[in-house]
Amino acid sequence: MSNATQIEFMSKNIEIKARLTKRSAVEPLVARIADSGPEVLVHEDIFFNTNHGRLKLRIFDDSQGELIYYERENQAGPKISTYSRLVVERPRDVRALLSSAYGIRGIVKKQRRVYLVGNTRIHLDEVEGLGEFLELEVVLTPEEQPIAGQKIAEELMTRLGIQNADLVDCAYLDLILSQAKAA
The number of folded domains in the chain is 1
What digits encode the pLDDT tens for the residues 105-138? 999 999 999 999 999 999 999 999 999 999 999 9
Q: Global pTM?
A: 0.91
Residue 1 lies in a domain: no
User: 160 is in which domain, residue-wise?
Assistant: 7-182
Distance CA 182, CA 49 (A): 21
- Give the helix, strand, coil percentages of the chain, each rounded to 5: 30, 45, 25
Q: Would residue 65 count as lying in a domain?
A: yes
pLDDT of residue 5: 53
Please check whether residue 2 lies inside any domain of the structure: no
